[in-house]
């Protein structure tokens, strides 16, 4: 149904730029996440590289027109490889005064500001805290302001279809999307096709949204804005098939893949919590793969059920966010003691307590490391980008299965909801992570009777055998009480307890033997090194690139494995003049590497619920190099 | 499971020393369970005992089956996961009044409402034993313990009422001084498809000795225990002289059969869809001081959760098995 020409005949194509950052901002009921997502998809299918940053309030419908209710979606599109959603938007779409007030400070000087002037009445201005209309008091002087009566033009466009004015206004986000799509040369067919598909069951809604989209698309031309129009050509990405994917979807698909690669059914026990629930939603769709999802009565039952399933020979998984991780602590300790494979996935958010449920933070690292009573070490892995979540889910499962241990995956709200193009892997090339179940007795008693010893370990990995119920002759009992190594019988023997504590720690330490070589990017031998983990990768990588482009030397190491650390890490860090550790917390990784390696690591911290920008890090790194 | 080998009690016992206090009621429950299993025709490798924390929760160590002694209160949650993953197994949950009704109350009621195929056995001794004698959520008001020197002011739970309120499809009570009644009750519970809840009055001879002897002791039993039997008029007493009749208040009361006549006796119907009778029976006694019903209060059929989960998996697979490459390509894709 693409009845809009890609380019008007005879018209010069718009100038090409190498990257553009667009930010859509409106009320939480305005559909900004939806249009951001559609703009992103259209750009992805067009072939751009991209990265997104959705931001929305914790309230489902915060009071309309207020700053608290502003929902935004930022996307950077480019014709080359990029790693962040951009520092400052080149264009801001503000659907109401509150959105303008909340997000104007982010817009780059001289940037394009597209304002829905229909909402700029006294009531909305007051709700946004404006004493005067900012359009008339000179406060927008530093920007290219495009004033558009979006609401009324949407109503004009859709009312011929018989849509009531109140309903008509709800299509104004598609008007905005059409306008921005024209402004940045996005092929309209992708979006129009999507509208038709998405609203198949409601042809009236589909028609209204399509009409609003077309009206927005045509408006630019009519308003003679061709001079503002630019486009971003497809990126020269590595050859392959790509899809645009969010971290939570990649994580869920990674879990499906892990089950496939382990030849085990996946069992997810989970309790709804922002921003982790989407993993539950996604996995619930994949019963065809034998995936069982169980929405438990609470966080503890979520992990409890996963432990039960793991005992039964499934790949047990539980997903949560910060507060839920706290609730699961005791059960994680049980899993450490039972030595069963288990994945505990924490999509971190702002804390403590309920904190900032919809905002990102990475402040659960020390909880993941130490947040259990007793000596209860477990491996920790963290993805660095949305697509990387897929790989890390498989890696976490590999470790959990090979070492019979719970593994914590630390993702965060930014990775969860943001997206990037992902070159799809060849599924036949993914690793086999399957491990055998025990089927036979592994010892004999003094009188020569075959016996099964549930804690008799593999000499290399120290993993104990995994004997699942239903296996004849291997009946055994496990539990949280300290047990004798080998037999698994309850033991309060002092020497045995110390032995078991050390064996459990050594088992986790030996995971390091199975890790790939540590990668140092940038100038590997530079005397300043930036050490990162998790979602800061994009901003750090971009900042390091800029610093090096500016003629300075800097190295970058980004950890996927946080416990145990890669064996080479100490050597890589020691001897540097400066080790900088950017983190979305108050310096938790810095504290760990200082303790582990006696390295004078300097934390670079940000806890504002939003990711670092590359510009912020560039400045800090340059100061450190020059300082 | 028809091919299960013939077993004796010994086959179901482990070589571990049983570590309950001498004289504890738990011994007789263990004996009843070990005696029951040879009758059930199941294979030991297909049976799993899962417990929480407390004296009763040591139980799995003494059963020669698969077992897990887990953490306080969480056994129903762990067992639910195992049952959903492995509907082929015969899974038992062993819990107590503190483990199952206090710290684990949430998991217990949800396991019951979901009707997961579990046999849940709650040893009720009305005291915390393993922590040495604090009052529990089933202790009577006024109970003097280490943590309630002036007497407990907590209103106790009635476990049978709670289970019926949580929509349990099988609810029963028995006691540790009647081995055959325990065996019969546990057999019925285990044969029920869905979540079965059995409360066992169990004597803690160290911290709450004799809590139930006013009703369970041999010499008083006939007059103090009301044995419920499906389809039979509810009567008790040495010569069947007492019975249960409807009370004008809407509940039930105990009456002399001679006074009210046999025709007035309530006929027990454990399979009634409506739980009102079972609930009213659970309210006949608020503690072991007055005639108290034992046996099966409720035994009804309703969909069992692991079967429903399995059915959805089958329905989903009927549309074609999962294809990983297909999944990865299921969003919009483009080729560079």
What is the mean pLDDT of the segment spanning A400-423?
A: 97
Whether A90 contacts A112, CB under 8 Å: yes
Does the beta-carbon distance from A308 to B85 stay under 8 Å? yes
Q: Which residue of B has its CA nearest to A286?
A: B322
pLDDT reading at A90 higher than 90 = yes
- Given a cut of 60, whether residue A7 has pLDDT beyond it is no
Q: Which residue does chain A place closest to B328, by CA atoms?
A: A424
Per-residue pLDDT at A56 exceeds 80: yes
Inform me whether the pLDDT recorded for B2 exceeds 90: no
ipTM over 0.95: yes
Residue A5 predicted with pLDDT over 70: no
pLDDT of residue A62: 83
d(CA A605, CA A607): 7
Give the per-residue pLDDT at A1. 41
Residue of B nearest to A256 (CA): B324
Place A164 in a pLDDT band, splitting at 50, 70 and 90.
Answer: confident
Q: Number of helices and strands (H, E) in chain B?
A: 12, 12
pLDDT exceeds 60 at position A425: yes
Q: Within an 8 Å CB–CB cutoff, is residue A183 touching chain B?
A: no
User: pLDDT exceeding 90 applies to what percent of chain B?
Assistant: 94
Asked if residue B252 has pLDDT above 60, the reply is yes
pLDDT at B17 over 80: yes
- The confidence score (pLDDT) of residue B332 equals 85
pLDDT score, position A511: 98
Segment holding B154, helix H or strand E = none
Give tens-digit pLDDT for A471-513. Answer: 999 999 999 999 999 999 999 999 999 999 999 999 999 999 9
- How many angstroms separate the CA of residue B12 from the nearest CA in chain A? 11
Does residue A187 surpass a pLDDT of 50?
A: yes
Confidence of residue B1 (pLDDT cuts 50, 70, 90): very low
User: Above 50 in pLDDT, residue A10?
Assistant: no
Q: Maximum Cα–Cα distance for chain B, whole Å?
A: 93
Q: Does A366 touch chain B (CB under 8 A)?
A: no
Angstrom CA distances, B242 to A441, B19, B174, B287, stand at 58, 41, 20, 19
Which of A282, A285, A305 would best serve as a mutation to test chain B binding (most B beta carbons within 10 A)?
A305
Tell me whether residues B81 and A309 touch, CB distance under 8 A: yes
Nearest CA distance, A561 vs chain B (angstrom): 25
Say whether pLDDT at A53 is over 90. yes
Kindly tell me the number of DSSP H helices and DSSP E strands found in chain A. 21, 25
What is the predicted pLDDT for the residue at A3?
53
Residue A251, pLDDT above cutoff 70: yes
Q: What is the mean pLDDT of residues A151-178?
A: 92
Mean pLDDT, rounded, of chain B: 96
A225 compared with A65, residue with greater pLDDT: A65
Closest-CA distance, A56 to chain B, in angstroms, reads 24
Between CA A385 and CA A540 the distance in angstroms is: 12
- Domains annotated for chain A, with CATH where assigned, are 15-231 (3.40.920.10), 244-424 (3.40.50.970), 436-514 (no CATH), 520-626 (3.40.50.920)
User: pLDDT at position A166, please?
Assistant: 81
The answer on pLDDT for A11 being more than 80 is no
Adjacent-strand bridge partners of A578: A528
Residue A2 is predicted with a pLDDT of: 44
Instruction: Report whether pLDDT(B72) > 90.
Output: yes
Q: How far is A476 from chain B (nearest CA, A)?
A: 5
Interchain contact, A304 vs B77, CB within 8 Å: yes
Residues A560-588, mean pLDDT to the nearest whole number: 98
Question: For position A35, what pLDDT does the model report?
Answer: 95
A487 at B interface, C-beta within 8 A: no
Check CB contact under 8 Å for B80 and A294.
Answer: yes
At A199 the pLDDT is 93
What are the phi and psi torsion angles at A444 (to 5°)? -130, 150
Residue A603 pLDDT exceeds 90: yes
Chain A residue closest in CA terms to B313: A287
Q: Which residue in A has a C-alpha nearest to residue B45's C-alpha?
A: A470
d(CA B265, CA A548): 93
On whether the CB atoms of residues B53 and B73 are closer than 8 A, the answer is: yes
pLDDT averaged over every residue in chain A: 95
Query: Which of A77, A107, A75, A109 minimizes the C-alpha distance to A94?
Result: A107
Strand segments, DSSP code E, in A211-291 are 230-231, 241-246, 266-270
B105-114 and B75-85 are packed helices; what angle lies between their axes, rounded to 10 degrees? 30
Going A446 to A452 to A455 to A456, the CA torsion angle's sign is positive
How close B309 comes to chain A (CA, Å)? 8
State mean pLDDT over A63-78.
94
Least confidently predicted of A104-118, A168-182, A222-236, B218-232:
A222-236
**Tokens standing for residue A393:** 């889910």
Quick one: which of A279, A276, A274, A284 has its CA closest to A355? Answer: A274
CA angle B165/B110/B59 to nearest 5° reads 100
* pLDDT at residue A12 tops 80: no
CB contact under 8 A, B16 and A490: yes
Q: Is A552 helix (H, G, I), strand (E, B) or coil?
A: coil
Query: Is A174:A213 a contact under the CB 8 Å cutoff?
Result: yes
| Per-residue CA distances from B334 to A46, A92, A186, A243 (Å) | 8, 28, 15, 7
Percent of chain A with pLDDT over 90: 92
- Domains of chain B plus CATH, in order, are 9-211+303-315 (3.40.50.970)
| Residue A59 reports pLDDT greater than 90 | no
Q: What's the rounded Cα separation, in Å, for the pair A413 and A362? A: 9
Judged against a pLDDT cut of 80, whether residue B97 lies above it is answered with yes
Decide if B177 contacts B205 (C-beta within 8 A).
no
pLDDT at residue A4, as a whole number: 59
Indicate whether B209 pLDDT > 60: yes
- pLDDT value of residue A78: 96
Mean pLDDT within A365-393: 98
CB A413 within 8 A of CB A360: yes
Is the confidence at residue B207, as pLDDT, over 60?
A: yes
Q: Hunting for tokens 């929509």 — which residue is that?
A: B167
Whole-model pTM: value is 0.95
Return the closest-CA partner of residue B47 out of A470, A587, A269.
A470
The residue of chain A with its CA nearest to that of B111 is A297
A475 touching B, CB under 8 A?
A: yes
Percent of chain A past pLDDT 70, that is, above it, reads 98
Do the beta carbons of residue A165 and residue A153 sit within 8 Å? Answer: no
Interface-testing mutation among B59, B82, B99, with chain A (most A C-beta atoms within 10 A) = B82
Q: Of B80, B110, B329, which has the smallest distance from its Cβ to A424's Cβ?
A: B329
A481 interfacial to chain B (CB closer than 8 Å): yes
Instruction: Quote the pLDDT of residue A347.
Output: 98
Answer whether the bond into residue A352 is a cis peptide, omega within 30°. yes
Q: What is the mean pLDDT of residues A258-284?
A: 98
């Amino acid at each position: 149904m693409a009845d809009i020409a890609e380019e008007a005949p005879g018209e010069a194509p718009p100038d090409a730029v190498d990257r553009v950052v667009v930010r859509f901002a409106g009320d939480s009921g305005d559909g900004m996440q939806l249009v951001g997502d559609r703009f992103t998809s259209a750009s992805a299918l067009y072939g751009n590289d991209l990265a997104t940053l959705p931001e929305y309030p914790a309230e489902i419908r915060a009071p309309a027109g207020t700053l608290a209710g502003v929902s935004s979606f930022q996307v950077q599109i480019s014709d080359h490889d990029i790693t962040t959603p951009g520092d400052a938007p080149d264009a801001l779409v503000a659907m109401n005064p509150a959105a303008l007030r909340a997000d104007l400070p982010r817009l780059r000087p001289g940037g394009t500001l597209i304002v829905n002037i229909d909402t700029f009445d006294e009531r909305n201005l007051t709700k946004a805290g404006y004493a005067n209309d900012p359009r008339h008091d000179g406060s927008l002087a530093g920007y290219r302001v495009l004033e558009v009566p979006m609401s009324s033009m949407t109503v004009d466009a859709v009312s011929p279809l018989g849509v009531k004015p109140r309903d008509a206004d709800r299509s104004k986000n598609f008007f905005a999307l059409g306008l921005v799509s024209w402004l940045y040369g996005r092929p309209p067919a992708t979006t129009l096709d999507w509208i038709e598909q998405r609203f198949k069951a409601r042809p009236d809604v589909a028609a209204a949204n399509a009409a609003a989209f077309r009206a927005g698309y045509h408006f630019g031309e009519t308003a003679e804005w061709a001079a503002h129009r630019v486009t971003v050509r497809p990126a020269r990405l590595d050859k392959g098939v790509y899809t645009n994917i969010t971290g939570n979807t990649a994580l869920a698909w990674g879990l499906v893949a892990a089950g496939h690669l382990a030849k085990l059914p996946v069992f997810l026990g989970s309790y709804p919590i922002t921003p982790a629930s989407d993993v539950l939603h996604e996995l619930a769709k994949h019963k065809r793969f034998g995936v069982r999802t169980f929405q438990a009565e609470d966080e503890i039952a979520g992990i409890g059920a996963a432990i039960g399933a793991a005992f039964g020979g499934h790949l047990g998984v539980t997903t949560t966010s910060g507060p839920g991780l706290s609730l699961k602590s005791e059960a994680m300790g049980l899993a450490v003691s039972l030595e069963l494979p288990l994945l505990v996935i924490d999509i971190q958010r702002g804390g403590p307590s309920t904190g900032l449920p919809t905002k990102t933070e990475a402040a659960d690292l020390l909880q993941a490391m130490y947040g259990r009573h007793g000596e209860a070490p477990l491996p920790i892995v963290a993805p660095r980008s949305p697509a990387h979540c897929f790989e890390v889910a498989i890696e976490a499962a590999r470790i959990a299965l090979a070492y019979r241990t719970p593994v914590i995956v630390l993702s965060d709200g930014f990775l969860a909801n943001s997206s990037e193009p992902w070159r799809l892997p060849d599924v036949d090339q993914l690793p086999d992570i399957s491990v055998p179940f025990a089927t036979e007795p592994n010892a004999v008693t003094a009188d020569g009777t075959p016996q099964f010893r549930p804690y008799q370990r593999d000499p290399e990995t120290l993993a104990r055998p995994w004997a699942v119920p239903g296996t004849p002759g291997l009946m055994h009992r496990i539990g949280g009480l300290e047990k004798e190594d080998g037999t698994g019988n309850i033991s309060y023997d002092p020497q045995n307890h110390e032995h078991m504590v050390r064996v459990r720690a050594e088992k986790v330490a030996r995971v390091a033997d199975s890790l790939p070589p540590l990668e140092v990017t940038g100038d590997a031998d530079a005397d300043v090194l930036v050490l990162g983990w998790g979602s800061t990768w994009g901003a750090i990588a971009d900042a390091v690139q800029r610093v090096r482009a500016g003629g300075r030397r800097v190295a970058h190491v980004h950890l996927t494995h946080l416990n145990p650390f890669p064996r080479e890490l100490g050597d890589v860090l020691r001897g540097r003049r400066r080790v900088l550790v950017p983190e979305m917390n108050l310096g938790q990784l810095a504290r760990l590497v200082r303790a582990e390696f006696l390295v004078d690591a300097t934390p670079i911290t940000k806890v504002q619920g939003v990711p670092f920008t590359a510009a912020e890090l560039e400045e800090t790194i340059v100061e450190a190099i020059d300082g | 499971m028809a091919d299960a080998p013939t077993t004796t009690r010994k086959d179901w016992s482990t070589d571990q020393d049983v570590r309950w206090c001498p004289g504890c009621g738990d011994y007789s429950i263990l004996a009843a369970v070990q005696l029951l299993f040879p009758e059930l025709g199941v294979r030991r490798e297909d049976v799993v005992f899962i417990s929480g924390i407390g004296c009763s929760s040591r139980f799995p160590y003494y059963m020669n089956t698969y077992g897990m002694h887990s953490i306080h209160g969480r056994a129903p949650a762990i067992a639910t996961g195992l049952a959903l993953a492995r509907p082929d197994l015969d899974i038992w949950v062993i819990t107590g009044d503190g483990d199952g009704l206090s710290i684990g109350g949430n998991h217990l009621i949800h396991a019951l409402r979901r009707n997961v195929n579990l046999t849940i056995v709650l040893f009720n001794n009305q005291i915390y034993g393993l922590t040495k004698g604090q009052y529990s959520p089933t202790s009577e008001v006024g109970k003097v313990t280490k943590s309630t020197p002036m007497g407990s002011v907590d209103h106790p739970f009635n476990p049978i009422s709670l289970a019926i309120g949580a929509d349990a499809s099988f609810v029963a009570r028995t006691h540790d001084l009647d081995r055959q009644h325990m065996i019969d009750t546990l057999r019925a519970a285990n044969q029920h498809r869905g979540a079965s809840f059995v409360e066992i009055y169990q004597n803690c001879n160290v911290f709450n000795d004799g809590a139930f002897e006013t009703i369970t002791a041999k010499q008083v039993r006939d007059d103090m225990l009301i044995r419920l039997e499906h389809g039979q008029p509810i009567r008790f007493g040495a010569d069947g002289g007492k019975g249960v009749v409807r009370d004008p208040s809407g509940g039930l009361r105990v009456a002399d059969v001679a006074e009210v006549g046999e025709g007035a006796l309530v006929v027990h119907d454990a399979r009634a869809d409506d739980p009102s009778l079972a609930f009213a029976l659970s309210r006949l006694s608020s503690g072991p001081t007055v005639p108290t019903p034992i046996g099966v209060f409720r035994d009804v059929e309703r969909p069992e959760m692991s079967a429903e989960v399995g059915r959805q998996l089958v329905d989903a697979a009927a549309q074609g098995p999962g294809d990983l490459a297909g999944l990865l390509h299921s969003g919009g894709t483009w080729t560079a």
